[in-house]
Amino acid sequence: TDRKKFHTAPVGQVFRLRPFHVLVATGGGYAGYRKYEDYKLEQLEKRGIEVPVKLASEWEVALYKSVPTRLLSRAWGRLNQVELPTWLRKPVYSLYIWTFGVNMEEAAVEDLHHYRNLSEFFRRKLKPQARPVCCLHSVISPSDGKILNFGQVKNCEVEQVKGVTYSLESFLGPRVCPKELHFSQAPPSNSFQQQLVTKEGNELYHCVIYLAPGDYHCFHSPTDWTVSHRRHFPGSLMSVNPGVARWIKELFCHNERVVLTGDWKHGFFSLTAVGATNVGSIRIYFDQDLHTNSPRYSKGSYNDFSFISNNNKEGIPMRKGEHLGEFNLGSTIVLIFEAPKDFKFHLKAGQKIRFGEALGSL
């Protein structure tokens, strides 16, 4: 249809051969080594010792990307949908609760026997008053999680963690048609960042929220806005925990992600759900055409979908706090939006935050 556009990767990228078994074994062992290194870094941080940034080399990134995380994530997704015997549910879920510190007192259904499989348990709903939505601030947290970074976007670079950046244009992809989004008609010579800003005097801001496996897995609308366009990047599914985000530059640009773009009262607004290992499934409730971690999509490609049509001139209106989507397991939410220069974040890097709490306001 005229609402779908597919952009495919070069043939050479799609059909590049790799020595599968050797790389899986080597990559798996190296991933274990990295986990141990991450653990040591976490212990140093807890003791208040500043950890210097040490980025992965190109061969380390290539080795990690060679691990078939997309295939493993699909297998994990199918395993999660296997119905567990009633007698096995409580011990399995109890182990998960103990390992990741899940608070089941907040769950709408506390009885562990109610959840037929791991997938239902991951996507459990909360009690209605467990996450009150802050009405005093213009932007709220769309999910539970940990604040990795926030602030102004500078020089078309965004920080995923302190000292480690990624390209704004690589992350969001080429600029969407101005007819779909109310972008300013900036001259082509302007930077990608300047082209996103629609109102004079505004700045571009960002916020990165990491969802751990024990967090509430649904995400919500962070403000009142209109979603006009969806762009799906079927990339890798590397881990996005803070240790890996500190190690791999442009990690979020490598990984599979779903970019929702539109506008709010101050101009451009976007929310990106970033996939991770064992999080092959990213679901957007109002987008039935979205299928993530699908074998029919190749890495290096992206596909677009417009929510503006002859029958719907405005797009999809979202109210602050409204259900927007969900992950299977944990992952990352990245907000990139335009706001006046007096916009202030009410956050500290590294703090825990819950859905509905304030991110910032004017």
Q: Which residues are catalytic?
A: 144, 220, 331
Could you give the CA distance from residue 162 to residue 160 in angstroms, rounded to a whole number?
7
Q: CB within 8 A of 165, min separation 6: which ones?
A: 157, 158, 159, 249, 250
265-279 in b/e form (b: 16+ CB < 10 A) is ebbbbbbbbbbbbbb
In the three-class reduction of DSSP (H, G, I as helix; E, B as strand; rest coil), residue 82 is classed as coil
Which of 274, 178, 279 shows the shortest CA–CA distance to 232? 274
Could you give the CA distance from residue 151 to residue 335 in angstroms, rounded to a whole number?
11
Tokens 């290194």 locate to: 37
Angle subtended by helix axes 58-66 and 20-46, to nearest 10: 120
**Residue 26 half-sphere exposure, CB side, CA atoms within 13 Å?**
14
The answer to whether 277 touches 249, Cβ cutoff 8 Å, is no
The answer to whether 218 touches 326, Cβ cutoff 8 Å, is yes
